[in-house]
Structure 1
Amino acid sequence: MKFLTRLNGTIEHSLTFIAGSSLFAMMLLTFADVVGRNLFNHPIVGAIELLQVLLALMLFSAFPLVTWKEEHICVDLLDSRFPARWVNLRQLAINLLCAVALGLVAMRNWELAGRSLDYQEMTDMLGIPLGYVTYFIAVMGGLAALLTLGNGILYLLGGGRLPAALTENGG
């Protein structure tokens, strides 16, 4: 159990670091580009492309974190009418369905990344290979699928945790 706790902490800290670093780099790059453009009439070449890549890194590194903690945006129209004894079963079904969907999306992105590298698709200005970014998206999607499956297993074993939105509303 101690190993799983450490693994969970390592994954969480690593993904948080990637997301936070990407966001910070986006902030610095935007600031430098605006200053260069307005004060020196010399913007940073390829700033938009770098921002797009950093945005992908930030969003998709946060994706598994949101999935693992079950902090998605959810609509709880029927939660108050759902019998309490079936909540774990409902959460199991939702998590398994989502794990399958995320796994399919990750596999498709993996294929697209390989094709992108084969076709040598790159950004226009800086020539950043887009396949590597797509591989990152596929890996993060796969990780999100595994973590969602893990959540489903926790609900199956009866030890699942309710999403924050459900516990806050008394569901």
Structure 2
Amino acid sequence: MLTFLDRALRWSSGLMAAIALFAIMWLTLADVTGRKFLSHSVPGGLELTEVLMVVVIFGALPLVSLRSEHVVFDTLDAFVPAWFKGLQARLVHLICAGMFAFMAKLMVQRADRFSEYGDVTLHLQLPLSPVAWLMAAFLLVTALVHLLFLVMPLTATQADEPTGEGSAS
């Protein structure tokens, strides 16, 4: 189940985030080159970078949660009894699921308001509501990932500590 979900998220949100990061890289190269040699930057380059950063950050959230690669504060782990670690992991997943779902709800409300008011970016006049809806969708997927961990049997690594490369152990 988790390998299927990992593969699905990698090929959806992960690929989307990777393409956005690649686009930011090329946009920055074009912008700096244009400023240096042509005395002109890419029109709306900053706005495009901001929108693409939303895709990078929020697109990576479900994958980071699925792989337990969040930054970890584990200084007190030596003092936590082994019997409590499973309960602690489930409590953390419950809190995370609730917070991500709440943030998704807030982003949907904000997206509706953006749509109602017709809010757009300043220079390129890009509508803001699709960006906010995308953020809400990624937040909701992240909440669902945490809910999945809440109902699944815990493995030793989930109960103890994350083993991903991104952990700050």
Using the size of structure 1 for normalisation, the TM-score is 0.88
Q: Equivalent residue for 1:52?
A: 50
Large movers: runs of 4+ above 4 Å: none
Q: Does structure 2 retain, via aligned residues, the 8 Å contact 1:36–1:44? A: yes
The percent of aligned pairs where both chains have the same amino acid is 32
| Length, aligned pairs only | 164
Unaligned residue ranges in structure 2 (runs of 5+) = none
Q: Answer yes or no: is 1:98 the counterpart of 2:101.
A: no
Give the partner amino acid of 2:37.
L
In the TM superposition, what whole-angstrom CA distance separates every residue of 1:18-66 from its partner, at most 9, and x where no partner exists? 1111111000000001111110112111000000000111110001111
Q: Equivalent residue for 1:132?
A: 130
Give the partner amino acid of 1:150.
L
- 1:27-66 equivalences in 2 (<5 Å): 27-66=25-64
Higher relative contact order at CA 8 Å, sep ≥6: structure 1 or structure 2?
A: 2
Distance in 1, matches of 2:3 and 2:142, equals 17
Distance in 1, matches of 2:51 and 2:28, equals 13
Unaligned residue ranges in structure 1 (runs of 5+) = none
Distance in 2, matches of 1:102 and 1:160, equals 25
Q: Answer yes or no: is 1:75 the counterpart of 2:90.
A: no
Q: For residue 160 of structure 1, report the CA deviation from its aligned partner.
A: 6.4
Give the partner amino acid of 1:99.
A
Given candidates 110, 113, 122, the residue that maps to 1:115 is 113
